[in-house]
C-alpha cells in the first residue's frame, strides 16, 4: 500500500510538472535562485542577489549600459540593481517597477522547513521572502528578461529597481539612496510597487482585488516618567511606573479622528455597495460625514477598517525600574504610530501630548524621522487597465482601491515626484501567509496567475 501511495504521489508530481508552461519553468528557476539567496540583514547579501538577477538579464540580452548595480561603500552587502528597457517613444514617460529584495530575519530552528530553501508542498511555495517581496521582484525581473528576449516592443521605457533595506529601519535603504543620489535612474511618471494584491477567502477563492493608493507613515515616540526613587519599604504616590501606567491608559483610550482620502473614499464607496445592510449604511453615512460617531463606532469593530480610517498609536515596548527593592527612578514605553496620509508627525505628537495631559510625562520623537508618502491620485490611466485586467483574470471578484496600513519604500520614492501604486495580482490568504513570521508561503497558483496578470498590466501601461 505504501508503495502504491508513493507511486501515486510521483505520478501526480510528474503530471503537475508536465502541465507547467515552459515560461513558468524558467520563471520558477529564477524565483528559486532569488529566494535561496539569503538577503537578511544579519548574514545575507542583497548585493549577491542583485548580481544574480543582473546575470539573468544579461543572458536575456540586456546591455551593460542598461544595467546599473549600486551599493554604498559603507554597506557593501546592501546593494541593488536598476535595469532599463528602452521604449520606442522617447517622449513617453517611463514606468518604474519597484521591489525590495531584502527579507525579515528567519531562524532555521524556529521554522518547520529551511527558510532559505524553496520548498513546494501542498500547493504552496515555502521560504522567507516567497511572498514579501521576492515574489514581485522575481516577476518583474523575469518580465523584463522575457520582454527583451522575445523582442517585445513597448512605447514607454520600463525601469526596474531592485532595492535593499525596506525591512529594517536603520539599514542602508536602496530606494532612498536612488531617490537622493541617482534620481535620473528611476525617474518615471509613476511606480508599481508592493502593497496591493487582493484577498482570498478561507476556501482559497478570490474575494477582493485591490490596487493600493497611499499608505501610512511610521513614527515611534517614547513616553517616560522619572522620579528620585528611594527604598521600596517606603512607597510614595508619585511612583514612575504608576505614572507611566496612567499615561499608557490614556494612550490606549485615545482615538484619532477619521480622516478620509481618495483611496479610503473609493474603498468605502465600493464596500458599501457590496456589503449592504447595517455596515453598508454606516459606510455611506461616514462618507457623508466623517464625524458620524455612531457609524465610526460600528465600522471600527473591524480592526482592518479601524486602522484604515485613522492614525493609530500603540505601545510596543516597555522598560522601568532598576532593582527589586528600590522605587523606580525611570519607566518608559515605545509608542508606535502609523500616521495616515494628510497628517504629520508634529500633529500626531501634539495629539498624544494632549491625550496624556500630564506635564510630568516626557514625550519625545524616536529617530529616524521617516519621510511621509503623500497621497496619490486615483487616475483612470492607472486604475482603468488594472480593473479591466482584473475582470479577465478574476471574473466577478470586486475590485477596489485601498490604503495600506503599513509602510513601504514608497515613502522614499514618492517625495522624488513619482506617484507609487501597489499593484493588484498577488492574493493573500486570510492568515497573512506567515509574512514577517514563521513559515512564510504563497500559493503556487496565486504566484503564476499573479505573474500573468502583472505581465499584461505592465504591457497595458507601457503601450499607452
Render 88-103 in DSSP notation, one character per residue: S-TTSPPEEEEEE--B
- Please provide the CATH number assigned to the domain covering 21-195+408-463: 3.40.630.10
Lookup: cell for 383: 486604475
Q: Which of 314, 376, 364, 361 is nearest to 339 (CA)?
A: 314
Alpha helices in 88-218 (DSSP H): 134-150, 174-181, 183-186
pLDDT at 151 over 90: yes
In the chain, CATH 3.30.70.360 sits at 217-366
Largest CA distance in the chain: 82
> Mean pLDDT throughout 236-249?
96
Give me the phi and psi of 414, to 5 degrees please.
Answer: -60, -40
Looking at residue 253, its pLDDT comes to 97
Q: Is the pLDDT of residue 8 over 60?
A: no
Q: How many CB atoms lie within 10 A of CB 238?
A: 11
- Please determine, for residue 145, whether its predicted confidence score (pLDDT) is greater than 90: yes
Dihedral (Cα; 54, 57, 61, 62), 10-degree rounding: -60
pLDDT of residue 20: 82
Residue 15 pLDDT exceeds 70: no
Question: Which runs of E-coded beta strand occur in 104-261?
Answer: 119-121, 124-126, 158-163, 190-193, 197-200, 206-215, 217-226, 230-231
Judge whether 282 and 295 are in contact, CB under 8 Å: yes
Percent of the chain with pLDDT over 90: 86
Average pLDDT taken over every residue of the chain: 93
Does domain 217-366 bear CATH number 3.30.70.360? yes
Retrieve residue 413's grid coordinates. Answer: 520614492
Dihedral, CA of residue 279, residue 285, residue 290 and residue 293, to nearest 10: -70
Residue 57 has pLDDT above 90, yes or no: yes
- Provide the 10 A C-beta neighbour count for residue 296: 21
Rounded CA separation 94/88 (Å): 11
The label of the residue with cell 546575470 reads 55
Name the burial class of residue 58, with classes exposed (0-12), middle (13-18) and buried (19+) by CB atoms within 10 angstroms of its CB.
middle
The rounded distance, in Å, linking the Cα atoms of 132 and 365 is 29
Q: Tell me the CA end-to-end span of the chain in Å, nearest whole number.
A: 59
Q: What is the pLDDT of residues 356-391, one digit of tens each?
A: 999 999 999 999 887 777 778 889 999 999 999 999
**Where are the domain boundaries for CATH 3.40.630.10 in the chain?**
21-195+408-463
Kindly tell me if the per-residue pLDDT of 9 is higher than 50: no
Strand, coil or helix: 14: helix
Residue 18 has pLDDT above 90, yes or no: no
**What length is written for the chain?**
464
How far apart CA 20 and CA 446 sit, in angstroms, is 14
Distance CA 310, CA 329 (A): 35
d(CA 39, CA 99): 13
The pLDDT value given to residue 406: 83
- According to DSSP, residue 329 is labeled S
In this predicted structure, the answer to whether residue 326 has a pLDDT above a threshold of 50 is yes
- What is the pLDDT at residue 277? 94
- pLDDT of amino acid 373: 72
* Closest of 293, 272, 296, 290 to residue 342, by C-alpha: 290
**Looking at residue 464, what is its pLDDT?**
80
Q: What is the pLDDT of residue 371?
A: 78
Q: Which residue has the higher pLDDT, 1 or 244?
A: 244
Task: Return d(Cα 416, Cα 186) in angstroms, integer.
Answer: 9
CA distance 67 to 159: 10
Closest by CA position to 109, among listed 440, 438, 441, 442: 438
Q: What is the pTM of this model?
A: 0.88
Reported in sequence order, the residue ranges of 238-396 that DSSP labels E, i.e. its strands, are 312-320, 326-327, 330-339, 362-366
Amino acid at each position: 500500500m505504501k508503495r502504491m501511495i508513493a507511486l501515486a504521489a510521483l505520478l501526480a508530481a510528474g503530471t503537475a510538472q508536465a502541465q507547467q508552461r515552459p515560461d513558468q519553468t524558467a520563471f520558477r528557476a529564477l524565483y528559486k535562485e532569488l529566494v535561496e539567496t539569503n538577503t537578511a540583514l544579519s548574514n545575507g547579501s542583497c548585493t549577491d542577489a542583485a548580481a544574480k538577477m543582473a546575470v539573468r538579464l544579461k543572458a536575456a540580452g540586456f546591455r551593460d549600459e542598461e544595467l546599473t548595480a549600486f551599493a554604498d561603500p559603507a554597506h557593501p552587502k546592501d546593494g541593488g540593481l536598476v535595469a532599463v528597457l528602452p521604449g520606442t517613444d522617447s517622449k513617453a514617460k517611463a514606468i518604474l517597477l519597484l521591489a525590495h529584495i531584502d527579507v525579515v530575519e528567519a531562524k532555521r530552528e524556529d521554522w518547520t522547513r529551511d527558510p532559505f530553501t524553496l520548498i513546494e508542498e501542498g500547493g504552496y511555495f515555502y521560504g522567507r521572502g516567497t511572498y514579501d517581496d521576492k515574489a514581485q521582484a522575481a516577476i518583474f525581473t523575469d518580465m523584463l528578461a522575457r520582454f527583451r528576449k522575445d523582442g517585445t516592443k513597448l512605447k514607454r521605457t520600463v525601469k526596474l529597481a531592485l532595492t535593499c533595506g525596506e525591512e529594517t529601519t536603520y539599514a542602508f535603504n536602496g530606494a532612498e539612496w536612488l531617490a537622493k543620489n541617482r534620481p535620473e535612474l528611476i525617474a518615471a511618471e509613476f511606480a508599481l510597487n508592493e502593497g496591493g494584491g487582493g484577498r482570498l477567502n478561507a476556501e482559497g477563492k478570490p474575494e477582493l482585488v485591490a490596487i493600493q493608493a497611499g499608505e501610512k507613515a511610521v513614527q515611534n515616540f517614547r513616553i517616560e516618567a522619572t522620579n528620585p526613587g528611594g527604598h521600596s519599604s517606603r512607597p510614595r504616590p508619585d511612583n514612575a511606573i504608576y505614572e507611566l501606567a496612567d499615561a499608557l491608559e490614556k494612550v490606549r483610550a485615545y482615538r484619532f479622528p477619521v480622516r478620509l482620502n481618495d483611496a479610503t473614499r473609493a474603498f468605502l464607496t465600493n464596500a458599501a455597495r457590496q456589503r449592504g445592510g447595517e455596515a453598508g449604511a454606516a459606510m455611506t453615512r461616514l462618507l457623508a460625514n466623517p464625524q458620524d460617531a455612531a457609524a465610526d463606532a460600528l465600522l471600527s469593530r473591524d480592526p482592518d477598517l479601524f486602522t484604515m480610517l485613522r492614525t493609530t498609536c500603540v505601545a510596543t515596548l516597555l522598560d522601568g525600574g532598576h532593582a527589586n527593592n528600590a522605587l523606580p527612578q525611570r519607566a518608559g514605553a515605545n509608542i508606535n504610530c502609523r500616521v495616515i496620509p494628510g497628517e504629520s508627525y508634529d500633529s500626531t505628537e501634539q495629539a498624544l501630548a494632549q491625550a496624556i495631559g500630564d506635564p510630568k510625562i516626557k514625550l519625545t520623537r524616536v529617530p529616524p524621522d521617516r519621510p511621509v508618502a503623500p497621497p496619490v491620485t486615483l487616475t483612470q490611466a492607472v486604475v482603468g487597465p488594472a480593473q479591466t485586467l482584473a475582470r479577465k483574470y478574476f471574473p466577478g471578484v470586486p475590485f477596489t482601491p485601498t490604503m495600506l496600513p503599513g509602510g513601504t519604500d514608497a515613502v522614499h520614492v514618492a517625495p522624488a515626484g513619482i506617484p507609487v501604486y501597489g499593484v493588484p495580482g498577488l492574493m493573500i490568504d486570510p492568515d497573512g501567509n506567515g509574512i514577517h513570521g514563521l513559515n512564510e508561503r504563497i500559493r503556487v497558483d496565486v504566484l503564476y496567475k499573479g505573474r500573468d496578470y502583472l505581465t499584461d498590466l505592465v504591457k497595458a501601461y507601457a503601450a499607452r
